[in-house]
Amino acid sequence: MTRLIIWRHGNTDWNAEGRVQGQTDVPLNDLGRSQAATAAPLLAGLEPAAIYSSDLRRARHTADALAALTGLPVAEDARLRERHYGLFQGLTNPEIAERFPAEFARWNGGNPDVGAEVERNDEVGKRVGEALREIADRHPGKVVVVATHGGAARQGFGDVLAWPADVMAAIRPLQNCHWTELADTPHRGWQLRAHNVGPWPEKAIPAPV
């Protein structure tokens, strides 16, 4: 049975400020590094065979905390990047609502065509899902950890599971340094085994960006 552990990066200053990061390359802050160091031993206990990461620093440095314990290299894949939020990147929700009211309403309403140069969710799911399937195919029967981003994780595993958009909209986003586990089972294919797993109790859910 192949298992994918899809791990959201640790906290950043933009997470703390409620700013949309998207594909802006924001590094981990002190809290994020601490979160990665706390979560890494739990993931190391799963005995992963490989570690993959988005090439954005907040994901890569999260993956590095696990690599330091396991001795495994980290393979970067740009397809694991967060959703590109276009003109929203760097702004808070109130700033987006003020500057782009129509687009903000479409975003909150789940419209796939947000505008403002925001990447469509189905496009995010397709590129991340493709990466996840290829990674799984390289490591049959193994545990693989994939460090990525909140929105990318959700859309990517939704694509692997072939879940429709309305189901994905009902899934709560990952907390920082929490993960989703998928398993490719012999008779039923890909299944969701766990979601929002991490080393501390669930609290307020930050924006998955």
Q: Which residue among 17, 47, 82, 119 is the active-site one? A: 82
Beta carbons of 86 and 116 less than 8 angstroms apart: yes
- Is 58 annotated in a binding site? The answer is yes
Element (H, E) at 207: none
CB-based contact 5:144 (threshold 8 Å): yes
Side by side, which strands form the sheet with 189-197?
Answer: 74-76, 50-53, 143-148, 2-8, 179-185, 189-197
Does 149 appear as a known binding residue? no
Annotated binding residue 148: no
CB distance 112 to 121 below 8 Å: yes
Angle at 7 between CA 196 and CA 9, to 5 degrees: 105
> Is residue 10 part of an annotated ligand binding site?
yes
84 assigned ligand-binding residue:
yes
Q: Any idea which residue has 């397809």 for tokens?
A: 79
Dihedral sign computed on CA atoms, order 31, 175, 43, 148: negative
From 9, 61, 149, 178, active-site residue? 9
Q: Annotated catalytic, 187?
A: no
The verdict on whether residue 121 carries a ligand-binding annotation is: no
Confirm or deny that 138 is annotated as ligand binding. no
- Whether residue 8 is annotated as binding a ligand: the answer is yes
Q: What distance in Å separates the CA atoms of residue 72 and residue 68, rounded to the nearest whole number?
A: 8
- Is 12 annotated as a binding-site member? yes
Q: Is 14 annotated as a binding residue?
A: yes
Distance, CA of 70 to CA of 49 (rounded, Å): 9
- The answer to whether 85 is a known ligand-binding residue is yes
To the query of whether residue 139 is one of the catalytic residues in this protein, the response is no
Q: Which residues are catalytic?
A: 9, 82
**Residues in binding site for substrate:** 8-15, 58, 82-85
**Residues in binding site:** 8-15, 58, 82-85
